[in-house]
Amino acid sequence: MRFLIIDQCSGSKEVPNNASEFSAADIDEHGREGLLARDGVPAIPARQLYTGRQQGYIDSAVDRLRAAGDTVDRLYISAGFGLVDEETELPPYNVTFAGMNSSAIDERATRLGIPADVREAVQATPPYDIVVLALGSDYYRACAVESVLDAIPSETLGVIFNQEALATEREHIVSIPARTTEAKEHGAIVVALKGKFLQNLADHRSRGAAMEKLSDLVEYCTTEPTTQTGLSEYD
């Protein structure tokens, strides 16, 4: 199967000791390549840079899906640099959409080309089997999520979180609740829960689960696989 997982940058980052963290003003003035060209500025692949709890769970999910033979593209919406992939090298920076007001989010997201880039990503050829937008509310706003959902091909199953009204309007999209109530039920914290759900999904997939309809995705995200005497429930 072909998966696209769109994650977000995290406030927690793996920054070498004594490395400067650049601001939005620095980034806008000099750009990614300009900052990386400076002496002493480390170039850190996005996957290594982002160390939030959600990102850690999704790291694990991506690895498990790939080990099971699936193709997984994993992108991040970065408030500093726009849409980047796992291997995009970034300088240390301290910019996030969290805490920005709506107009500031809209302005910066448009400046970085995020809505158009995300729409293009979900329309890959051939179409993805499953697209997951593992984002918080500020990042859904940054990508103009309604236009992204409209761009997902009808043959692709889409997963979003805490966006029930948007999913109801689209037959091939499901919204999975990932709020405080669900976090308590699953023994997780809210900021990590979307990642935990994706790890569950990957665990089921690695045991041979077929994911052919939206109800499969909901079940596999929200339950952990069970085994008996080393045998999978799918054997």
Distances (CA, A) of 90 to 35, 46, 155, 201: 9, 6, 34, 29
Confidence class for position 226, pLDDT limits 50, 70, 90: confident
- pTM for this model (two decimals): 0.94
- The helix-helix angle for 114-122 and 102-112 (nearest 10°) equals 60
Percent of the chain whose pLDDT exceeds 70: 96
Q: Are 130 and 1 in contact (CB under 8 A)?
A: yes
Strand (E) or helix (H) holding 89: strand 89-90
- Concatenate the DSSP letters of all residues of 116-167 into one string: HHHHHHHT-SSPPSEEEE---HHHHHHTTHHHHHHHS-TTSEEEEES-HHHH
Cα–Cα distance, 38 to 67 (Å, whole number): 37
Task: Tell me the per-residue pLDDT of 99-142, one tens digit each, with 9 for 90 and over.
Answer: 899 999 999 999 999 999 999 999 999 999 999 999 999 999 99
Query: What count of Cα atoms within 13 Å lies in the side-chain half-sphere of residue 22?
Result: 23
Query: Is the pLDDT confidence value at 16 over 80?
Result: yes
What is residue 32's predicted lDDT score, i.e. its pLDDT? 97
Which DSSP category does 38 fall into?
S
Query: Is the pLDDT confidence value at 232 over 60?
Result: no
Give the residue extent of every domain in the chain. Answer: 2-177
Distances (CA, A) of 89 to 15, 49, 99, 138: 13, 9, 25, 24
Task: Tell me the per-residue pLDDT of 65-84, one tens digit each, with 9 for 90 and over.
Answer: 999 999 999 999 999 999 99
- Please report where in the chains the tokens 């994706």 appear, as a residue: 198
CATH class as words, domain 2-177: alpha beta
**What's the chain's length in residues?**
235
Q: Are strands 82-85 and 71-78 parallel, antiparallel or unpaired?
A: antiparallel
Angle at 174 between CA 88 and CA 215, to 5 degrees: 115
